Amino acid sequence: MGRHALPGSPPVPLTLRKSARARRISLRISQLDGRVTLTYPQGVAETEALNFAHQKEGWIRQHLQERPVPSTVQVGQTIPVEGIARRIVREPGRRVVLRRDEIGVPSGSEARRLARFLKELARDRLTGACNDYSKMLGRPYSTLTMRDTRSRWGSCSSVGGLMFSWRLILAPSDVLHYVAAHEVAHLAEMNHSRAFWAQVERIFGPYKEPRRWLRDHGAELHSYRFDAGTG
């Protein structure tokens, strides 16, 4: 992979990827982190691929401008938890409390406390889902880890290790369960073949709607920042 940038204010970083499987030059903007990837076939010169990106500069910048603006969570703000909008309020005591339409957070480093709670909740929900789908598939997984990934919502290693973005807890429950089923299905099919999607549908059911939701709204889950106190 090579790295270039479209000049301008601001410059737009480009990741160039030459692919033996590509049949034409294509651009992809990640819904997770806004990364712009320019893929081109083996027989195409790098300069030709860069010229293509320059021709599409207006389209690239428009899509980047439409991405959600990041904001640090704070008391009084509303955030989604399991897809349900909940207002962040101060909570007496030492525990974060999840209610139907609000989430109570003790005073002091609220953002970090809330992030810790959401990670634990995500682990609980994903572990339960993966246990169920793994049993249905008849294939055990080896480990389950949580990260704040920017390029993917989950992954499955060749030795059965599952990894998920804890931010899935912000998405509707069926979306979290879809991603869990998707990665568990890789325990049987380490590809995205028809056989793989058949496994996803067998253990999860119809998956097009939650998959579409993640494609259309996934970037919003990364607009919440938990790396500072809220005062």
pTM, rounded to two decimals? 0.77
Inter-CA distances, 95 with 98, 101, 107, 108, 227, Å = 10, 17, 10, 12, 19
What pLDDT is recorded for position 31?
A: 66
Q: What is the pLDDT of residue 2?
A: 67
Listed by start position, the domains of the chain span 2-65, 71-225
Cβ–Cβ contacts within 10 Å for residue 164, how many? Answer: 27
What pLDDT, in 10s, does the model give residues 21-58? 899 999 988 766 788 999 999 999 999 999 999 999 99
Superfamily of domain 71-225: Metalloproteases ("zincins"), catalytic domain (3.30.2010.10)
Flag whether pLDDT at 229 surpasses 60: no
pLDDT for 87-110, tens place per residue?
A: 999 999 889 999 999 999 999 888
* Segment 115-174, tens digit of pLDDT: 999 999 999 999 999 999 999 999 999 999 999 987 789 999 999 999 999 999 999 999
Which tokens sit at 108?
Answer: 């002091």
pLDDT for position 21: 87
